[in-house]
Structures are given as structure tokens and as C-alpha cells.
Amino acid sequence: MTQPELFDVVELLIDLPELNLCAGVQGAIVECDRDNNYEVEFSNSDSTTDFSDVILNE
């Protein structure tokens, strides 16, 4: 499996109800670190950011 890179579009595989995000929502990687943690930005249909947070690579 290849590692995600900056600006790749990713899709959640699980619901994250505490963040109000559902499985299937797509976001773009806007930051990644050496430990393979990613900051993913999720946008709505108006292209405004709904949520941006660090998602651990598990």
C-alpha cells in the first residue's frame, strides 16, 4: 500500500461522531508529519472548510 501524500484526497472509513463526520466523507491532506499523522481538511459543497484536524494513521 502506498503512503498518502500532501494534497491527496482521502475518504473516512469509519464514522467519527465526536467530530460530526460520517464514513464516506472526503477530505484533502493538508499536512503530514514523520509519524504518519495527517491533518485533513473536510469541506462542504460551498467549498468552505467544515473541519480540519489531525487524523492518526492507524
Domain ranges of the chain: 9-49
Using an 8 Å Cβ cutoff, are 55 and 39 in contact? yes
Q: How confident is the model at residue 9 (pLDDT cuts 50, 70, 90)?
A: very high
What's the mean pLDDT in 50-56?
A: 63
Q: For residues 31 and 54, which has the higher predicted lDDT (pLDDT)?
A: 31
pLDDT of residue 52: 65
> Counting beta carbons within 10 angstroms of the beta carbon of residue 16, is it exposed (0 to 12), middle (13 to 18) or buried (19 or more)?
middle
pLDDT of residue 7: 95
Quick: pLDDT tens for 21-52. Answer: 889 988 999 998 888 888 888 877 666 666 66
Collapse the DSSP code of 17 into the 3-class scheme (helix H, G, I; strand E, B; otherwise coil) and give the result: helix
